Amino acid sequence: MDILSFKVALAIYFISALGYLTSLYVRRVLVAKIATWVLTVAFINHTIFFVFRYAGTGQIPIMSLHETLSFFAWAMSGIYLAFQLKTKTRILGAFVSPVAFLLMILASVGLGGPVSIPPALQGNLVPVHVALAVMGEALFALASLAGAMYLIQEGLIKNKKMSSFTRILPSLTDLDRINHISLLWGFPLLTLGILVGSIWARTVWGSLWQWDPKQVWTLTAWIFYALILHQRIAIGWKGRKAALSSLLAFGFLLASFVIVTLCFVTAHTFI
């Protein structure tokens, strides 16, 4: 049952992504509106999957790599849909839903297999650590997607290339606001995630910090984000610079994830 709801969610994410991309192509907001509803259905299905999964295994389903990726997709879609209620930035879904879909594809590899958790990761704090960190990163992903769209829209307006494309993209202020709010929420979530992780590390390994490669890379990204937030809030960075830096920061976060996973032995190796 859980597998089925996952597959259904995957298929609906795909339809939603197609819908959003079509709306970009035909330049009609109506298509995006429909795609938003489709995405909502996918999200609900996805939620059902988590519920079934939890009921089936008795553990919070964010322990394995595929579960984490799928949780990432779920968190990102959910947060985007929540934004959707506040601002009329439907077209942003054209960037969010394909990413969610790709994450789901990756997540579907090794789906449903039994998850054996090494003793070091068996504890109540671990899912909390993962959930907080993934939520924070999902918000950063959203910030970077909004930032990317901002850069496109800004480039069009700045260079006087106003077209039907500009017309369906959200306004600069709305995109900037999403970028800002995502950073504003993502940062404390990631911070909490890191803190919970290090508290758990102390109970397992005896010290808060192990100089694990993953920890080092993430901390660097964290400092990067701290700087961006500082520039935004204290210096008053807005618009292009803020969008560009959040995009770069997320690129860094992503690169660190890939490099660490491929090149280093770490306590964060996913199962």
Partner 1 sequence: MNIILIGMNHKTAPLEIRERLSLACGDDVTLLMEMIKMPRIKEVMYLATCNRVEVLAHTADTEDTVERLKEFIFRHGNLSVEEMVNCLYLYFDHDAVRHLFRVASSIDSMVMGEPQILGQVKDAYRRSVEHNATGIILNRIIHHAFRTAKRVRTETGIAGNAVSVSFAAVELAKKIFGSLKGKTILLIGAGEMSELAARHLINNGVDRIVITNRTYERAAHMAEDFQGTAIEFELLPEKLRDVDIVISSTGAPGYVITVPVIEAALRRRKNRLLFLIDIAVPRDIDPAVGDIDNVYLYNIDNLQDIVDNNLKSRVKEAQKAEIIIEEEVVKYQEWYNALEVVPTIVSLRGKMEGIVKGELARSGSWMQNLTDEERKNIELVAVSIINKILHDPITGLKEESRDQSALPYIAAVRRLFGLDDI
Residues that bind partner 1 (CB under 8 A): 87, 153, 157-158, 160, 162-164, 166-167, 169-174, 236-241
Would you say 58 or 236 has its CB closer to partner 1? Answer: 236
Whether the Cβ atoms of residue 139 and residue 189 lie closer than 8 Å to each other: yes
Would you say 208 or 233 has its CB closer to partner 1? Answer: 233
**Least distance in angstroms from the C-beta of 105 to partner 1:** 34
Would you say 100 or 149 has its CB closer to partner 1? Answer: 149
Would you say 134 or 169 has its CB closer to partner 1? Answer: 169
Would you say 103 or 244 has its CB closer to partner 1? Answer: 244
**Least distance in angstroms from the C-beta of 158 to partner 1:** 6
**Least distance in angstroms from the C-beta of 147 to partner 1:** 14
Return d(Cα 179, Cα 187) in angstroms, integer. 12
**Least distance in angstroms from the C-beta of 91 to partner 1:** 12
**Least distance in angstroms from the C-beta of 87 to partner 1:** 7
